[in-house]
Amino acid sequence: MHVIMPVIEASKLTKVYRTYRKERGLWGSVKGLLKRRYDETRAADEVSFQIEEGEFVGFLGPNGAGKTTVLKMLSGLLNPTSGDARVLGFVPWERRNEMKRQFSLLMGQKNALWWDLPAQESLELNRAIYGIDRNRFEKVVDGLSDLLEVRDKMNVMVRELSLGERMKMELIAALIHQPRVLFLDEPTIGLDVVSQKRVREFLRIYNEEHHIVTLLTSHYMQDIEELCHRVLVIDHGKIFFDGPLAEIVDRFSGYKILSLTFEKEATRDLSRFGEVTEQTPVSVQLKVPRAKVTETCRELLEACDVSDINVQEVPVEEVIRQLFGERHEIHRGAEIGAAAAAPVA
């Protein structure tokens, strides 16, 4: 019987950083020489998940949540403090060449191309490094440059390219060896709306055609909504959600949005029906608890001359923003409680 193995598998992956905490002033420096105090930060805290072949997975979390740390461990750039991981059957931090030839890491805030060379020559260097056959290399580069519409920019110095053009070239560099796994860390950061859309469309088409595993971190919810069928949500190093994006709204949002249009100008106060988020003389948008939507709709239809009514979910971006805010407050409260309970030295 043939057993299908996950392409990426993380099991209780943990990364702890120790940082020296120095007290203020000269006396603090003297005390530090005699007895050092350290703070521990759990950048990743027993992270576990599996990703199958062809999946396009979004990795969500606020700044400092641990997303990039996990990607770096899966790429072999960081050794974990504890836990285990497999990428294509390899232990990433053993940095075996067989694995390096089958994955790519693209970080939107770091350049992989040579700044003072034309993009074509940077790609030639990558071809030599990976030992790619020239015919195959030319076929892949031609196809990718056509898809990304940068064929006419190949002989331009990388430093002279716009940010959007440079990111497209970085994508080509990440894919010329046709990896089976692609890690993307903020690939659209700083790009204009048109460039973001072009990069998203390219990633969607490439994933569909090549069935590669893609793990994407992004602060742009549109990237996640358009590309990812599944999301992992991490906060303070811990994954607390793994599933379809739409399920986040169902699980974590206690409200729905009612949009009403009236036949004539509404004069009455509608705040008793729910939280008014938008209002004009002939329309209103209300935030209503999920359990009271049916009842509220009935009351509004009886009380007002309604010409149109629409029920929508709260936008997923707002749900996630609120969710992270709540978790931050809970975590901060726990830290304050722990500090208050700690014995005084």
Same domain, 143 and 229: yes
Q: How far apart are CA 332 and CA 20, in angstroms?
A: 21
* Residue 91 banded pLDDT, cuts 50, 70, 90: very high
Question: 275-280 and 230-235: which strand pairing?
Answer: unpaired
Q: What is the pLDDT of residue 2?
A: 45
**Which pLDDT value is given to residue 180?**
93
273: containing domain: 254-313
Per-residue pLDDT tens for 33-42?
A: 667 777 788 8
**110 and 192 together in one domain:** yes
Q: What is the pLDDT of residues 214-232, one digit of tens each?
A: 999 987 888 888 899 899 9
Per DSSP (E only), the strands in 88-130 are 103-107
Q: What is the reported pLDDT for 51? A: 94
- Domain contains 318: no
Q: Which of 15-29, 264-278, 311-325 has the highest mean predicted lDDT (pLDDT)? A: 264-278
pLDDT exceeds 50 at position 1: no
For 133-150, what is the mean pLDDT? 90
Q: Is residue 2 part of a domain?
A: no
Domain match, 166 and 110 both:
yes
Report how far residue 29's alpha carbon sits from residue 27's, in angstroms, rounded to the nearest whole number. Answer: 5
Single residue among 208, 227, 249 that ends a domain in this structure: 249
Are residue 213 and residue 305 in the same domain, yes or no? no
What phi and psi, each to the nearest 5 degrees, are found at residue 107? -110, 120
* Mean of per-residue pLDDT scores for the chain: 84
